[in-house]
């Protein structure tokens, strides 16, 4: 396995970061995780825009222009001979002395990881998964801007621990007002009376790239879309529920805590959206491959 570290591809054993790196010491860093289909990185431009936004909001200078980062992503995939993969770009404040002052770090640390994509079991998509409502709350947007996709993940980890203890696939966090926010690594959706519902960004959630695609697909399929503030009870009484991110795409949910959703069957709207999403991916990949974006 090979890793892109700072300015070149190196063997995994040589991909070493200092214990004085502020990403390690303080979680001072940002990242993006992307899905690769047939050698094409899906929605690469959109992920790069979000990476740039995260960097700007924490006053972090990216180590190279966006075109250089994109080229480095494909170089890493090529070095690992991967065509169906997950790839993560991480940028930290860099090596520096102890202390929170960003000026202690001379230059950022830049890392790209690429791994063979491991598909989720077919039964998850056929039968749905179980999620829970976590006790751990989502960070308030006035304490940590949710538009920053940062290395600060402790509250998500605590919610994930809750899910694992209860043998749930995912934990759904609420904001401080008790409204549904998002999962530890996912956005949450539910269908009620032919309307696709999802928490509004003002709740304090990340504007997921897959989330945005799903909203557009729902509208194209003739569904109404409602972005609003919702309570857990509305999720548990929904006709259909699913979660999403770049790697899992659209994952059906048939249990929310002890509540069974729609008699435990994956709903037809969820199936239609998943089919439409995968068709969107196929079209994107074919178009980019024809342009040589590999």
User: Which of the residues 149, 192, 226, 291 is marked catalytic?
Assistant: 149
37 within domain boundaries: yes
Closest to 31 in 3D by CA, of 110, 106, 85: 110
Q: What is the largest CA-CA distance in the chain?
A: 57
Q: What is the CATH number of the domain that holds 12?
A: 3.30.470.10
292 within domain boundaries: no
Do residues 106 and 227 both lie within one domain? no
Do residues 164 and 267 both lie within one domain? yes
293 within domain boundaries: no
Do residues 237 and 108 both lie within one domain? no
pLDDT above 70 covers a percentage of the chain that reads 99
Do residues 130 and 12 both lie within one domain? no
Burial label for 277, CB within 10 Å (0-12, 13-18, 19+), is middle
Active site annotation includes 130: no
196 within domain boundaries: yes
Instruction: Give the tens place of pLDDT for each residue, 158-173.
Output: 999 999 999 999 999 9
Instruction: Give the tens place of pLDDT for each residue, 51-105.
Output: 999 999 999 999 999 999 999 999 999 999 999 999 999 999 999 999 999 999 9
Q: How many CA atoms lie within 13 A of 160 on its CB side?
A: 8
Closest to 137 in 3D by CA, of 173, 182, 103, 164: 173
Q: pTM for the whole thing?
A: 0.94
Do residues 138 and 263 both lie within one domain? yes
Q: 31 lies in which domain range?
A: 2-116
Q: Are 26 and 17 in contact (CB under 8 A)?
A: no
Do residues 98 and 177 both lie within one domain? no
């Amino acid at each position: 396995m090979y890793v892109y570290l700072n300015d070149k591809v190196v063997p995994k054993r040589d991909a070493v970061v200092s214990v004085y790196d502020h990403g390690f010491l303080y979680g001072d860093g940002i990242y993006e995780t992307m899905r690769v289909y047939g050698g094409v990185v899906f929605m690469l431009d959109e992920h790069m825009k979000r990476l740039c936004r995260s960097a700007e909001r924490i006053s972090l200078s990216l180590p190279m222009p966006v075109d250089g980062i994109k080229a480095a992503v494909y170089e890493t995939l090529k070095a690992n001979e991967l065509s169906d993969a997950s790839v993560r770009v991480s940028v930290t404040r860099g090596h520096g002395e102890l202390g929170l002052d960003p000026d202690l770090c001379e230059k950022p640390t830049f890392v790209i990881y690429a791994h063979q994509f491991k598909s989720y079991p077919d039964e998850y998509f056929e039968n749905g998964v179980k999620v829970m409502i976590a006790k751990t709350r989502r960070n308030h947007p006035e304490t940590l801007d949710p538009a920053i996709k940062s290395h600060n993940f402790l509250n998500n980890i605590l919610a994930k621990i809750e899910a694992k203890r209860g043998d749930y696939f995912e934990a759904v966090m609420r904001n401080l007002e008790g409204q549904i926010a998002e999962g530890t690594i996912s956005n949450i959706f539910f269908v009620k009376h032919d309307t696709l519902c999802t928490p509004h960004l003002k709740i304090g959630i990340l504007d997921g790239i897959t989330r945005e695609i799903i909203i557009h697909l729902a509208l194209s399929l003739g569904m109404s879309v409602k972005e609003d503030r919702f309570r857990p009870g509305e999720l548990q009484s929904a006709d259909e529920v699913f979660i999403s991110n770049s790697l899992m795409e659209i994952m059906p949910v048939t249990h929310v805590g002890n509540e069974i959703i729609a008699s435990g069957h994956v709903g037809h709207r969820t199936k239609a959206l998943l089919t439409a999403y995968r068709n969107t991916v196929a079209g994107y990949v074919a178009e980019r491959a024809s342009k040589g974006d590999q």
